[in-house]
Amino acid sequence: MKERLWWRDGVVYQVYPRSFADANGDGIGDLEGIRGKLDYLVSLGVDALWISPIYPSPMADFGYDVSDYRGIDPLFGDVEVLDALLADAHARGLKVILDFVPNHSSDEHPWFRESRRSCDSAFRDWYIWRDPAPDGGPPNNWLSNFGGSAWAFDEHTGQYYLHLFLDKQPDLNWRNPMLREAMYDAMRFWLRRGVDGFRVDVIYHVMKDAEFRDNPPNPDYREGIDSEAQRLLPLHTADLPETQGIVAAMRSVVDEFPERVLIGELYLPLERIVAYYGEGLEGANLPFNFLLIGAPWEARFVAGLVERYEAALPEGGWPNWVLGNHDKPRIASRVGDAQARVAAVLLLTLRGTPTMYYGDEIGMHDVPIPFDEVRDPFERNEPGKGLGRDPQRTPMRWFPREGAGFTRGVPWLRLGDCVASRNVATQSDDPASLLSLYRMLLRLRRGSSALSRGAIRVLGVSDEAFAYERRDGDDRFVVVLNFTDAPAALPVAEPAGACVLSTHDGGASGELRANEARIYRGSL
């Protein structure tokens, strides 16, 4: 692995386009806004930006309801603006990854409009239609991930259509070869324009049981706490064996173009995540590993997770790690400001491709959203359970002023508090800030073959701390992390090499200080 490969050795930075930078003042982020911040991404030290959906959409689920797979929603710009963004990014050495949403389209997509026109429509089988049950109700017990039945009745044709998300997001029928080819051609459309790959939304849902059998009850379901969809186990609606063939076919499309990447969104157990590398590694290049997002923030648990994941990887499979995204609470809200610094060191020194979420580098927290301002349909459908995703999608803070430099208009979601301290401009001038720590880590990682592609070896773990070595030939580093807010003994003998980075000021020797992470050059 001597030759640099951008998606293996680099760092991905997720941009939620509505919330990153607003160039036209309408309060909603756009492509020109992203284009204007490319130099920031370069100065930060990331290698690729992944942009959440920007396709034409009625925005029932903020872009995850696509009405045209080959266009750009006017809210964000147009195809020419994306072309300019691609050119500018590539000129700076940045790669650009787009979201691809294959499980469902919008109900306003021309395919679905034609599909629901009649039972004899040529597009009828591009979606999943079924006759009612004998009692006239839904065909089976499948549930929507956003609450309620996954079936919607169409009065005009007298059948139900499947929607595993909103009823305005009908599921596509991936058993139809014409639908598959149309979707692969949509991928090629963007790859020809220079897009460097795709993050594929809920890739594990695309195939459903051909016999439409009921899903079994979930014995661990917690009434009033879990989402309604968790009442059943998705045995027949997720992670079907046939899905692997679809993933392999998508990978084949991506491999028609040089140096592109296929990333799969997977909320699955560890042993199922690694299955998506595919036979002979012909599946996703990076099946997303979200295990840290829901993990208890404890040294022994995280160390065990790292070891289990490494052991489960197929030979040649490259790992990846994620601390946050647009669907889950922010890392600083989950572990606190002090441990967010430890988390940054962990993410950027583990073996594998890290994915950062915009704003985590300045310590953005989830922002409470009053119910009358809620935009997320998940929260509106199941209020009171804390399932809403608006809190982690609030606008990026660029400057300590009104609008936070995000917009000169009214932001689509409230900014929240602490704007004066949690913004790029203020933290750029503070060498002790979280942003400065991220920049140091990214610079260290980029300059080290050990940190970007080397092997990992767990050295020691205690109830409080976790230590591991990264090594590529003579390039070696030891990372030590204190997961607690109290001093802790090093779980290994103190490395002989110099401490090149600490999350704390002052000397770094002896026991770990509260909430401290260190990186030593050299080995034990």
Active site residue ranges: 201, 256
Cβ(207)–Cβ(128) below 8 Å:
no
The torsion angles phi and psi of 491, rounded to 5 degrees, stand at -80, 0
Cβ(462)–Cβ(488) below 8 Å:
yes
Cβ(363)–Cβ(337) below 8 Å:
yes
Q: Which residues pair with 468 in a beta bridge?
A: 458, 479
For the chain, helix (H) and strand (E) counts, in that order, are 15, 16
The torsion angles phi and psi of 209, rounded to 5 degrees, stand at -55, 125
**Residue linked to tokens 């591991």:** 468
Q: CA angle, corner 81, sides to 377 and 168, nearest 5?
A: 20
Q: Which residues pair with 478 in a beta bridge?
A: 469, 520
292 secondary structure, DSSP code: T
The torsion angles phi and psi of 219, rounded to 5 degrees, stand at -70, -15
> CA-CA distance, 309 to 313, in Å (whole number)?
6
218: its two tokens: 């979930």
> CA-CA distance, 414 to 27, in Å (whole number)?
10
Q: Which residues pair with 104 in a beta bridge?
A: 171
Which helix (H) or strand (E) covers residue 381, if one does? helix 377-381
CA torsion 223-227-230-234 (nearest 10°) is: 160
Cβ(16)–Cβ(32) below 8 Å:
no
**Amino acid occupying residue 206:** V
> CA-CA distance, 330 to 336, in Å (whole number)?
10
DSSP secondary structure letters along 241-254: TTHHHHHHHHHHHH
β-pairing verdict for 517-521 and 499-502 = antiparallel
> CA-CA distance, 77 to 80, in Å (whole number)?
8
**Amino acid occupying residue 401:** R
